Amino acid sequence: MTIDDRTAMRRIRTTRRIATAVLAVSTLLLAGCGGGGGSAAQPAADGTVAINVGETPGIPQLFMQFGVDKGFYKDEGLNVTVTPIPGGSQQVTSVLSGATDLTGNDVVTWVNARAQGLPLSLVGPGSAATADPKADFSTVQVPADSPIKKPGDLAGKTIAVNNLNNIGTITIRGALDKAGIDSSQVKFVEVGFPDMLAALAKQSVDAIWIIEPFSSIGLAKGNRAIMYPYAEYDPSMQIGLIATSTKWAAANPDAVTKFQKAHTRTADYVAKNPDEFKAALAKLQGVPAEKVAGVSLPVWNQNVDFGSMQQVAESMVKYGILTAVPNIKDNVLPGA
């Protein structure tokens, strides 16, 4: 990704802080404490408030960076640094430790957080799936010469996902079961999105579950898509979310509102200017524009779709991740 050296160093420092915060957050939670930065963010000399936002590598992170580069957050008085965080528990750790102020997240992680009573607050929606399976921004891919020709051939095979028992696992299993295929026969291993194409090329796994822009890059290399899990599980489902610690939200209500406005503005702009966004993807990824021209983009809705989130929560119980469906609307901030 093309970024200046100063921004790169800020991200490296933040990533180190996130890595060292895991034990501290675990201790806080076991002790029954809230965790998370609770201080009000202070304006810089130029009047802007500096905030650090963690996001999932791929389209979610690049979407956030696009809004920053367009100046939408600065227009609201926010100086945003976007930090890549693989997902799930790492993202929760980042906000509960105060290493980041807000974080991208996903529906499964949010439902888990509600089941555990973690002090997280829901800020707003992230990405959502499209209704058209062939326009899904997630795919299950296999090499061109793989004997796996259809979803039913995945029985007994190993699929790489970015986080175990998370949104990839749930949607793949749900889509398979919906098609009458026993999803319990599929094995999952954890591999980061940026490393999945290499893992598949080395035959470390039989298939990979991957999101854009990595998905289009994989298809351009000759991989075959045999599943479109998001759309096949629940067309137009809510995928991503934006969350923060409850303490930070309480201490910074104005910054939360400004963030929501800038995030919505980014979503509106991308919806109206998809080609410009794709050109920015190529620049940010440091790849030729033609490599991302066919990228399938998510949808960014104005508000969170709690109906599809409820379906995910029920699937989590079905697949033994939870014992009961929690209240998914607990700790939802105004404007979400």
Number of neighbouring beta carbons within 10 Å of residue 324: 8
pLDDT at residue 36 in the model = 60
Task: Identify which has the larger pLDDT, 16 or 123.
Answer: 123
Q: What confidence score (pLDDT) does residue 51 get?
A: 96
pLDDT at position 107 over 90: yes
pLDDT at 101: 97
CATH number for the domain running over 133-233: 3.40.190.10
Using alpha carbons, list the distances in angstroms from residue 127 to 75, 97, 131, 156, 241: 22, 25, 13, 31, 7
| 233-290 per-position pLDDT tens digit | 999 999 999 999 999 999 999 999 999 999 999 999 999 999 999 999 888 888 788 8
Quote the mean pLDDT of the chain: 88
Identical topology for domains 5-128+238-318 and 133-233: yes
pLDDT for res 87: 72
pLDDT for res 202: 96
User: For position 294, what pLDDT does the model report?
Assistant: 84
pLDDT score of 17: 42
Q: Locate 152 and state its tokens.
A: 């039913």
Q: Which CATH code fits 5-128+238-318?
A: 3.40.190.10
Contact (Cβ atoms closer than 8 angstroms) between residue 173 and residue 188: no
Is the alpha carbon torsion for 261, 265, 266, 271 positive or negative? positive
Phi, psi of 79 (to 5 degrees): -105, 95
The more confidently predicted of residues 289 and 20 is 289
pLDDT at 47: 80
Can you give the pLDDT at residue 58? Answer: 86
Mean pLDDT of 175-189: 96
Q: Which range is least confidently modeled, 3-12, 146-155, 210-219, 250-259?
A: 3-12
* Least-confidence region, from 57-66, 76-85, 229-238, 287-296: 287-296
pLDDT at 35: 52
**Residue 192 CB-half CA count within 13 A:** 10
Residue 8 is predicted with a pLDDT of: 42
Task: Compute the average pLDDT of residues 120-134.
Answer: 93
**In the chain, domain spans:** 5-128+238-318, 133-233
Highest mean pLDDT among 129-143, 246-260, 290-304: 246-260
Residues with Cβ within 8 Å of 152's Cβ and at least 6 positions away in sequence, in order, are: 179, 181
Q: Is the pLDDT of residue 175 over 50?
A: yes
The pLDDT assigned to 40 comes to: 81
Q: What is the pTM of this model?
A: 0.82
pLDDT of 193 strictly over 50: yes
Mean pLDDT of the region 212-219: 90
Cα–Cα nearest to 159, from 216, 200, 212: 200
**Interior/surface letters 57-81, b for 16+ CB within 10 angstroms, e for the rest:** bbbbbbbbbbbbebebbbebebbbb
